[in-house]
Structure 1
Amino acid sequence: MQDHRALLVSLFDAAVEAANPEHCLRPFLPEVPRGRTIVVGAGKGSAQLARALERIWPGKLEGAVVTRYGYAAACDHIEVLEASHPIPDAAGLRASERLLSLVQGLTPDDLVIALVCGGGSALLPAPSAGLDLADEIALNEALLHSGAPISAMNAIRKQFSRIKGGRLAVAAHPAKVVTLVVSDIPGDDPALVSSGPTIPSSATLRDAIAMIDRYKIDLPEKLLRYLDSADSAPKTDDSVFEGHSVHVVASAKVSLEAAAAAAAQAGVRAAILSDSLEGEAREAGAFHGAITREIESNGRPFERPVVLLSGGETTVTVSGKGKGGRNTEFLLSLALNIQNTQGVHALAADTDGIDGSEDNAGAFVDSTTIDRMLSAHIRAEDFLMNNDAWSAFSAVSDLFVCGPTGTNVNDFRAILIT
């Protein structure tokens, strides 16, 4: 079992290394401007991006980025701020104000480099006029419990913010803005990563209202009333964005390809199912389980040995009161669906190092997981219904803890069938 787990961890490590900030940023650096270079950024890997940029940038720079508590990295010229994730707090509010203040009074000779990666939506609370931090907290809580895809959640968030949806770039006008994005969004639309603080939105206010209805998102009455008079986020054809550029410097696609190459070096064929999987985590687990059983029993659509790789971001519609995240929920469902198989081992983890609100990135599963849980008096079906996958895996010591990775290209899933 340990050898199989070591192989799975090596594939995870290869995926994370492919999103190494210093390697990713270098090909996309703009020219040094005649004026100032201001760095702004947000996300769970933004401090590592800032540190890497300091090492490779040939000129002077200054600025600030905001990351999750415990995710900071030492920088010489760029201020690193910390705030709460996934629920915003007052520190995030101060960080948003700091970033907005940094881009005030710039000229056409100045350059703003925006370092954007997953997690910035919660780290940059900046409620629109008439709203406050409590309203943005309520908004995030409603979205996180809704089961809506991340693309819909971020399109909605933009309608309630003074910094998201391109508004930070508007504040920096007339300076040129170059946005470097580490994508954690299925499909890699950079405008959706961290709700696009420097990228104009393609989603209108009407689109956001339709998404609230479609996913039955239970927003407080105050927020619903606000939408009656809200202004849409800036559009892509706004002249303020002329001359700006956006580059996706790392993504799940690149990371999964790196993991597949690492598997090949280890002598195992890899099949990438998708780099943009969405939907309910438990349903995705059942689907992956069905494919796994077909391979294990009938040798199709792939012959064993093979490792199935997938990325993207599933969701969890929270109805229970347990602890966990989308990767452990996926895995608990997968475990139930491979209970009677032989030679199956799996790892699913968030590439930023944290799945949900605990300290684990994900967990391991194998053909014996459910039996071992039963021996520990854990009935997996009950824990799954209570959204308590973390407790189930903790009871059998199968949590995967790696600590913050310094990047975030969404979820990584690997199922090895020997």
Structure 2
Amino acid sequence: DVVGDAVDVIASGPTAPDTTTFPEAIKVLKKYSLWDKTPQSIKEVLKDGERGILPETPKPRDRIFERVYNLIIGNNRNASLAACKTLANEGLNVTLLTSTLEGEARHVGTVLASICQEISISGNPIVKPAGIVVGGETTVTVTGKGLGGRNQELVLSAALKLQGLSGVALASLNTDGVDGPTDAAGALADGETVARAEAMGLSCEQHLSENDSYTLFSKLGDLIITGPTGTNVNDVAVMIVL
């Protein structure tokens, strides 16, 4: 569940060299104004490490790793390529744009929707009928008091950009089946999502500003609910343009 498959980060990298140091950990806590909120016991450990009283974690070229080999057997690229294969089997022209997507969910949603628009208008970067897959993991800067997850927020922002566009749909989900603190894996939207919401007295803009994508998609019946999948290789978004 790490974009880019950094072995020293996946599950905290128990079988990989640790490239970070005690001073770097202290620097990060201070950078984000968390040092004063950190329990004293943890601060003492970090300070002892900084002073050399405690040994650093094993680093690259440490002999302990001489006979260790780490192999990635499943990742986001695998999941994204599987999605591509499914779309191709449905007769769509398919492309995988990236399996390392990152960024603010609502901004990414707007970008993905604009790609759908471009394909619909000009056939670039792929001709219709098109299936576009994007993998990775976005983030959400929470400012509201609503309920949702990064995939649902991505789709909601995309819906605003897609409104009125026919023959286009976008879905995004977490491969572990749990998007944020909700029971949904993600959500889907098309060019009619905003109009359907307005017909029910719902404002997509308001729900987006409140980080309340789950509530809106729940009322629309457009949540993707899979239950826990037993795996976790980031998120996958699929766009279809007919």
Query: Cα deviation per residue 1:10-52 (whole Å; 9 max; x = unaligned)?
Result: xxxxxxxxxxxxxxxxxxxxxxxxxxxxxxxxxxxxxxxxxxx
Where 1:307 maps in the other structure, the secondary structure is strand
Where 1:382 maps in the other structure, the secondary structure is helix
Where 1:275 maps in the other structure, the secondary structure is strand
Query: Cα deviation per residue 1:67-118 (whole Å; 9 max; x = unaligned)?
Result: xxxxxxxxxxxxxxxxxxxxxxxxxxxxxxxxxxxxxxxxxxxxxxxxxxxx
1:280 to 101, 104, 110: 104
Contact between 1:346 and 1:364, CA under 8 Å: does it hold in 2? Answer: yes
Where 2:233 maps in the other structure, the secondary structure is coil
| Count of matched residue positions in the alignment of Structure 1 and Structure 2 | 233
Say whether 1:332 aligns with 2:120. Answer: no
Contact between 2:22 and 2:47, CA under 8 Å: does it hold in 1? Answer: no
Question: Which residue type is aligned with residue 318 of structure 1?
Answer: V
> CA separation in 1, counterparts of 2:189 and 2:106?
14
> CA separation in 2, counterparts of 1:319 and 1:199?
36
Where 1:245 maps in the other structure, the secondary structure is coil
1:221 to 26, 33, 36: 36
Query: Cα deviation per residue 1:314-357 (whole Å; 9 max; x = unaligned)?
Result: 11111111111110011011111111211111211001111111
Per the TM alignment, residue 237 of structure 1 is displaced from its structure 2 partner at its CA by 2.5
Matched ranges for 1:360-375 at <5 A: 360-375=184-199
Say whether 1:404 aligns with 2:221. Answer: no
Aligned pair in 2 of structure 1 residues 359, 385: CA closer, same or farther (>3 Å)?
same
> CA separation in 1, counterparts of 2:94 and 2:167?
16
Question: Could you tell me which residue of structure 1 aligns to residue 59 of structure 2?
Answer: 235
Say whether 1:293 aligns with 2:85. Answer: no
Contact between 1:329 and 1:387, CA under 8 Å: does it hold in 2? Answer: yes
Determine what percentage of the aligned residue pairs are the same residue. Answer: 39
2:10 to 183, 193, 203: 193
Q: Which has the higher contact order (CA 8 A, sep 6+)?
A: 2
Per the TM alignment, residue 212 of structure 1 is displaced from its structure 2 partner at its CA by 5.0
Contact between 2:139 and 2:150, CA under 8 Å: does it hold in 1? Answer: yes
Where 2:73 maps in the other structure, the secondary structure is strand
Per the TM alignment, residue 386 of structure 1 is displaced from its structure 2 partner at its CA by 1.1
Question: Could you tell me which residue of structure 2 aligns to residue 244 of structure 1?
Answer: 68
Contact between 2:29 and 2:35, CA under 8 Å: does it hold in 1? Answer: no
Query: Cα deviation per residue 1:224-277 (whole Å; 9 max; x = unaligned)?
Result: 871444455332232233312211110111221122122111111111111010
> CA separation in 1, counterparts of 2:111 and 2:171?
16
Where 1:291 maps in the other structure, the secondary structure is helix
> CA separation in 1, counterparts of 2:32 and 2:184?
28
TM, length-normalised to structure 2: 0.89
Contact between 2:98 and 2:134, CA under 8 Å: does it hold in 1? Answer: yes
Aligned pair in 2 of structure 1 residues 209, 381: CA closer, same or farther (>3 Å)?
farther
> CA separation in 1, counterparts of 2:164 and 2:217?
19
Contact between 1:185 and 1:276, CA under 8 Å: does it hold in 2? Answer: no
> CA separation in 2, counterparts of 1:380 and 1:400?
18
Contact between 1:205 and 1:233, CA under 8 Å: does it hold in 2? Answer: no
Per the TM alignment, residue 358 of structure 1 is displaced from its structure 2 partner at its CA by 1.1
Aligned pair in 2 of structure 1 residues 217, 385: CA closer, same or farther (>3 Å)?
farther
Structure 1: give runs of 5+ residues left out of the alignment. 1-183
> CA separation in 2, counterparts of 1:262 and 1:185?
24
Matched ranges for 1:11-410 at <5 A: 184-212=1-29, 217-219=32-34, 221-223=36-38, 226=43, 227-230=46-49, 232-410=56-234
> CA separation in 2, counterparts of 1:248 and 1:195?
15
> CA separation in 2, counterparts of 1:217 and 1:299?
44
Per the TM alignment, residue 209 of structure 1 is displaced from its structure 2 partner at its CA by 4.7
> CA separation in 1, counterparts of 2:124 and 2:63?
53
How well do the aligned residues superpose, as a CA RMSD in angstroms? 1.9
> CA separation in 2, counterparts of 1:248 and 1:399?
31
Where 2:145 maps in the other structure, the secondary structure is coil
Contact between 1:324 and 1:388, CA under 8 Å: does it hold in 2? Answer: yes
Contact between 1:345 and 1:417, CA under 8 Å: does it hold in 2? Answer: yes
TM, length-normalised to structure 1: 0.53
> CA separation in 2, counterparts of 1:381 and 1:234?
49
> CA separation in 2, counterparts of 1:397 and 1:191?
40
Per the TM alignment, residue 305 of structure 1 is displaced from its structure 2 partner at its CA by 1.1
Q: Which moved more, 1:393-402 or 1:296-305?
A: 296-305
